[in-house]
């Protein structure tokens, strides 16, 4: 069995993403069998490449391979295209014609955009998968074929089943071995690798030197979601290779060809929640808010201990915040995740004494109560500054602590003017 690395070289696949390697490993393992495979993934991720891997690594590699885009064939003619027709079976049928399943006998047929297949055709396909039998349009003669079916879809077929747009029995028959091809937003570590590869290809094609990215442009490219995936990235590199006067691409050059590259979509919760792309910048804010919640719980616990230890009266406005409180005393209640402990007095060998707070007017200096800022940007800036200080300005360690890439951290440092 060939290795993932050799398959990548053989079929011109670039990237080091773990999810990509998992998909390739599954394809290599199942290629030698006749099992039906369902390839899922967004448009432009390269699903057809996987169908060719499955065919070329199989015993059928010397027999026909036919790729069919089900969404590109009109509903009225798709049965004829797939299964053939007899002369005179419909207007324009001037002779007998073999369909793709008959032509690809002994080989592989790749059905792309399978979700677009009409319901009646789905029933015919199910019969082929189960028994290898089919009937030409306008004929009553049952024919046999030995074809391996590889299907692909850029939409959730199970969701289509729920909406009664796709046959459930056909879905489970096709989904014998599922292969998920990840989009670029789930393999960001591969974006710059692919960019350099495409830049080299187009430099050779147009006989120029390859384009390069400066730091800001590289950050934009790496953090963009690429809804069109590899196809969109390839087109963008070709435009930049042809239209840019300079070989070093700047942020301004990127914005000219992808004006919406700075646009970021917030994550939206949904009942059928698909795996979301990582939102590293917001993770910083979530981490900060979580730390603030812990600090608040600690302060509440400390305040409760003082009140309890000194047998003080709880202010009416705060009683609701401490479950179990009563007029005579308080139950031993601590915020979730915290254990109430007595407050020790340094040097004391006996049971800790309570700390008594007295209301002595004039004893404390007057202070001005400042309203804490609730700006997310300010909170994010403060957290980044703290982490940079913690690691003495070492960006690699700081980025690791924050859970973001060094490029994202570099951009945030520039944005908030945190450079020392």
**pLDDT-based confidence at residue 317 (cuts at 50, 70, 90):** low
Residue 339 lies in a domain: no
Residue 401 lies in a domain: yes
Residue 298 lies in a domain: yes
**pLDDT-based confidence at residue 174 (cuts at 50, 70, 90):** very high
Closest CA to 281 of 419, 383, 414, 404: 404
**Do 406 and 301 reside in the same domain of the chain?**
no
**Do 192 and 330 reside in the same domain of the chain?**
no
pLDDT in tens, 391-408: 888 888 888 888 788 888
**Do 175 and 192 reside in the same domain of the chain?**
no
Residue bearing the bigger pLDDT, 308 or 199: 199
Model pTM score: 0.61
Q: Is the pLDDT of residue 240 over 80?
A: yes
Contact at 8 Å (CB) between 170 and 215?
A: no
**Do 167 and 208 reside in the same domain of the chain?**
no
Picking from 128, 147, 182, the residue at the C-terminal end of a domain is 182
Q: In this structure, what is the dihedral angle of CA atoms 228, 233, 236, 240, given to the nearest 10 degrees? A: 170
Q: Is the pLDDT of residue 142 over 60?
A: yes
Average pLDDT over every residue of 66-82? 93
**Do 178 and 324 reside in the same domain of the chain?**
no
Q: Is the pLDDT of residue 198 over 80?
A: yes
Q: Is the pLDDT of residue 367 over 70?
A: no
Residue 329 lies in a domain: yes
Picking from 210, 240, 257, the residue at the C-terminal end of a domain is 257
Residue 276 lies in a domain: no
Q: Is the pLDDT of residue 64 over 90?
A: yes
Domain of 224, CATH number, reads 1.10.8.60
Structure tokens given for 88: 């005179």
Average pLDDT over every residue of 66-80? 93
**Do 108 and 31 reside in the same domain of the chain?**
yes
Contact at 8 Å (CB) between 31 and 65?
A: no
Residues 6+ apart with CB under 8 A from 174: 36, 38, 114, 129, 149, 151, 157
Residue 420 lies in a domain: no
Residue 169 lies in a domain: yes
**pLDDT-based confidence at residue 318 (cuts at 50, 70, 90):** low
**pLDDT-based confidence at residue 120 (cuts at 50, 70, 90):** very high
Q: At what angle do helices 376-390 and 406-415 cross, to 10 degrees?
A: 120
Average pLDDT over every residue of 384-393? 85
Neighbours of 341 (CB within 10 A): 10
Residue 349 lies in a domain: no
Q: Is the pLDDT of residue 269 over 70?
A: no
Q: Is the pLDDT of residue 54 over 80?
A: yes
Q: Which residues form the domain of 235? A: 185-257
Q: Is the pLDDT of residue 420 over 80?
A: no
**pLDDT-based confidence at residue 13 (cuts at 50, 70, 90):** very high
**Mean pLDDT for the chain?**
82
Q: Classify residue 207 as exposed, middle or buried by CB count within 10 Å of its CB (0-12, 13-18, 19+).
A: exposed
Domain of 9, CATH number, reads 3.40.50.300
**Do 155 and 196 reside in the same domain of the chain?**
no
Structure tokens given for 382: 């403060």
pLDDT in tens, 98-112: 999 999 999 999 999
Q: Is the pLDDT of residue 330 over 50?
A: no
**pLDDT-based confidence at residue 292 (cuts at 50, 70, 90):** confident
Count structural domains, the chain: 4
Q: Is the pLDDT of residue 186 over 80?
A: yes
**Do 226 and 119 reside in the same domain of the chain?**
no
Share of the chain above pLDDT 90, in %: 56
**Do 81 and 35 reside in the same domain of the chain?**
yes
């Amino acid at each position: 069995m060939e290795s993932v690395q050799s398959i990548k070289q053989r079929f011109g696949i670039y990237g080091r993403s773990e999810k990509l390697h998992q998909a390739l490993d599954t394809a290599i393992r199942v290629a030698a069998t006749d099992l039906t495979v369902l390839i899922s993934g967004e448009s432009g991720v390269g699903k057809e490449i996987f169908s060719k891997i499955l065919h070329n690594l199989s015993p059928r590699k010397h027999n026909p391979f036919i790729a069919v885009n089900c969404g590109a064939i009109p509903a009225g003619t798709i049965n004829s295209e797939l299964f053939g027709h007899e002369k005179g079976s419909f207007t324009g049928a001037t002779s007998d014609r073999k369909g793709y399943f008959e032509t690809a006998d002994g080989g592989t047929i790749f059905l792309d955009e399978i979700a677009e297949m009409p319901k009646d055709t789905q029933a015919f396909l199910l019969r082929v998968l189960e028994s290898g039998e089919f009937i030409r349009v306008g004929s009553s003669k049952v024919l046999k074929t030995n074809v391996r079916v590889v299907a692909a879809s850029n939409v959730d077929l199970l969701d289509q089943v729920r909406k009664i747009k796709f046959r459930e029995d056909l879905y489970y028959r096709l989904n014998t071995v599922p292969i998920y091809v990840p989009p670029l937003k789930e393999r960001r570590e591969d974006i710059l690798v692919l960019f350099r590869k495409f830049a080299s290809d187009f430099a050779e094609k147009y006989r120029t030197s390859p384009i390069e990215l400066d730091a800001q442009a590289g950050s934009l490219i790496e953090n963009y979601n690429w809804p069109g995936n590899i196809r969109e990235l390839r087109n963008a590199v070709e435009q930049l290779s042809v239209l840019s006067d300079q070989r070093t691409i700047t942020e301004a050059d990127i914005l000219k060809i992808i004006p919406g590259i700075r646009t970021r979509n917030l994550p939206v919760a949904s009942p059928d929640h698909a795996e979301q792309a990582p939102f590293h910048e917001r993770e910083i804010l979530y981490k900060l808010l979580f730390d603030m919640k812990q600090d608040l719980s600690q302060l509440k616990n400390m305040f409760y201990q003082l009140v309890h230890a000194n047998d003080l009266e709880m202010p009416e406005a705060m009683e609701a915040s401490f479950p179990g409180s009563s007029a005579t005393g308080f139950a031993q209640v601590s915020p979730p995740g915290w254990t109430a402990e007595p407050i020790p007095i340094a040097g004391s060998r006996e049971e800790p004494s309570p700390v008594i707070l007295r209301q002595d007017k004039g004893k404390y200096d007057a202070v001005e109560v400042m309203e804490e800022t609730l700006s997310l940007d300010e909170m994010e800036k403060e957290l980044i500054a703290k982490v940079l200080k913690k690691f003495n300005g070492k960006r690699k360690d700081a980025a690791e602590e924050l859970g973001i890439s060094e490029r994202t951290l570099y951009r945030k440092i520039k944005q908030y003017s945190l450079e020392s």
